[in-house]
Amino acid sequence: MHRAKRILIIDDEEAVRTVLAKFMSREGFEHDCASSGDEAIWLLETNEYDFVITDLVMPGAHGLELLERIKSMNSEVPVAIMTGFGTSDRTIEALRGGAVDFIEKPLDFDRISQLLSKVFKRRRREAGYAEALAMLASGTFVLPNDAIILESAARIATKRLEGTRFHDGVYLALIECLTNAMEHGNLEIGQEEKIDAISAGALDELKRSRLADPVLGNREVFLTMKATDDSLRFTVRDEGKGFDYRNLPDPTEAENLFNASGRGVLLVQCYMDEVSWNHAGNEITILKSLNKLHST
């Protein structure tokens, strides 16, 4: 069974705290009350809350300072502020500071009920989205030559490994494969050419010039994933000419880690359990054994 949602109510006026507490009880929420910012911080440090509702104007630390402190402690917890007449500037500042919404005094309990429903439905959708991504077993992404989109695809594809000590390595391996597919494959930037551009601080300019090419820039990267009970397999293919993977540095030789040429592929070989290429060298398949995840 899911636990009841827990609300923290912060207001220096006892009457406000009392009426909000009764409302939360009627709505089926657990709740705690704090009469000051210091008391609220103590409660936040010792309890887990699903929602915080705080007055904007209180003696001592006002609501804006408290909002900033709450967000620094837990950026995910939604915070709504209560505001009265004459505090519009602070209200806008609070919304810009991360508050999800504001509630005007005198309190409108229908409005509060709607706000709570909206926030918790959104958070359930987000949780469901994360769970659905973790269950993704197979699929193909057709990706443009855009580093941000490639990174997002890698995060989705490795979602099921989150929370394991293998996640970062597999994620970095996949990023390396996708980046190589874009830069060396589709944009045809040679390894030495890339090293020289990095040394000259001109890599971004080099990539922009290749992206502007109507042939190179419009090529795509293809990422296919397949998950089974035993393994997680990724295949990355570009539309370039391929390369001679047979001359890659030997990953068993430690000194090769410090060679710029081929270092990324070498790291992929270290992170993954199996690495292979197609004959042309424009498609790489990497595999991570899930048996190792379950046995550690």
- Residue 296 clears pLDDT 50, i.e. is over it: no
**Residue 250: which pLDDT band, with cuts at 50, 70 and 90?**
low
Q: Are 174 and 157 in contact (CB under 8 A)?
A: yes
Mean pLDDT of 212-231: 93
pLDDT of residue 8: 95
Pairwise CA distance, residues 72 & 184, whole Å = 41
- Backbone φ, ψ for residue 86 (5° rounding): 85, 10
Q: Are 179 and 146 in contact (CB under 8 A)?
A: no
pTM listed for this prediction: 0.57
Domains detected in the chain: 6-132 (3.40.50.2300), 136-294 (3.30.565.10)
CB atoms under 10 Å from CB of 253, counted, come to 10
pLDDT digits (tens, 9 = 90+) for 55-105: 987 766 667 888 888 888 877 889 998 887 656 777 888 888 888 888 888
